[in-house]
Amino acid sequence: QVQLVQSGAEVKKPGASVKVSCKASGYTFTRHYIHWVRQAPGQGLEWLGAINPSGGAASYAQKFQGRMTMTRGTSTTTVYLELSTLSSDDTAIYYCAILSSDGTDSWGQGTLVTVSS
Amino acid sequence: EIVMTQTPLSLSATPGQPASISCKSSQSLLHSDGKTYLYWYLQKPGQSPQLLIYEISSRFSGVPDRFSGSGSGTDFTLKISRVEAEDVGVYYCMQAIDGVTFGPGTKVDIK
């Protein structure tokens, strides 16, 4: 079955960068875009962007352009989200997800990123 | 950016009774391909979101038939015909015609 498994929790200082991974399995990796969505404590869902594993092209929410990079691994079924110049506003659970694509919808377990001095 | 709004933002439901949530988008979600890119998700406490409804009214695999979606253009509704205790959580509508944006969420609890 389709599965997205994310890397573990991170604690970062303001101004630092963080890189979260999402390993996909159970399907043809290039078949579905992988999206990143975050959820600040007690808040709603915020879409960050998406990457096409076939080719690696990524699109970003305007708010995060220039500060966020999505990449795919070479010869692995893993995608990465890197966010730079972190502030306390970036404290959130970060999810990777396949959003309703050809009958598939699947979310990772989430990665808590805490930004604190 | 397409803005999604939901009403109500919180709902206290009675088991066995119906409940509904409204979602409005700032632009039409009808694509030239004939599909309308409106989805409904439920996030149960402590869990990742799960898809309930795609393209306005199609139930995702395994979703009970007490959940139904309707609407068109910019106005959409999620209905639960008979609320059950396991339906508690936050319901989000989402558009995917132009990037992706979520509504603010509707928190549903049981009376």
Residue A32 has pLDDT above 90, yes or no: yes
Select the residue of B39, B48, B60 nearest A109 (Cβ to Cβ): B48
pLDDT digits (tens, 9 = 90+) for B26-49: 999 999 999 999 999 999 999 999
Instruction: Give the model's pLDDT for residue A103.
Output: 87
Give the model's pLDDT for residue B99.
95
Interface with chain A: mutation pick from B21, B54, B100, highest number of A CBs within 10 Å = B100
Band of residue B12 on the pLDDT scale cut at 50, 70, 90: very high
Closest CA–CA distance from residue A99 to any residue of chain B (Å): 8
Q: Are strands A58-60 and A46-51 parallel, antiparallel or unpaired?
A: antiparallel
Minimal C-alpha gap between B100 and chain A (Å): 6
A105 band by pLDDT with thresholds 50, 70 and 90: very high
Closest CA to B52 of B64, B41, B44: B41
Mean pLDDT of the region A50-56: 94
Contact yes or no for B50 and A47 at CB 8 A? no
Question: A58 to each of A15, A42, A81, B92, how far by Cα in Å?
Answer: 24, 28, 11, 24
> What pLDDT is attached to residue A27?
94
Residues 6 or more apart in contact with residue B96 via CB below 8 angstroms: A99, A100, B37, B39
Q: Which two tokens stand for residue B102?
A: 């979520």
Using the predicted structure, report yes or no on whether residue A77 has a pLDDT greater than 90.
yes
The pLDDT confidence band at residue A79, using thresholds 50, 70 and 90, is very high
Give the pairing of strands A18-25 and A3-6: antiparallel
Question: If we measure between CA atoms, which residue out of A49, A42, A38 comes closest to residue A113?
Answer: A38
Judge whether residue B56 has pLDDT over 90: yes
Partners of B72 in beta bridges: B75
Confidence of residue A60 (pLDDT cuts 50, 70, 90): very high
Residue showing tokens 């998406």? A50
Task: Band the pLDDT of B109: cuts 50, 70, 90.
Answer: very high
Interface with chain A: mutation pick from B2, B51, B59, highest number of A CBs within 10 Å:
B51
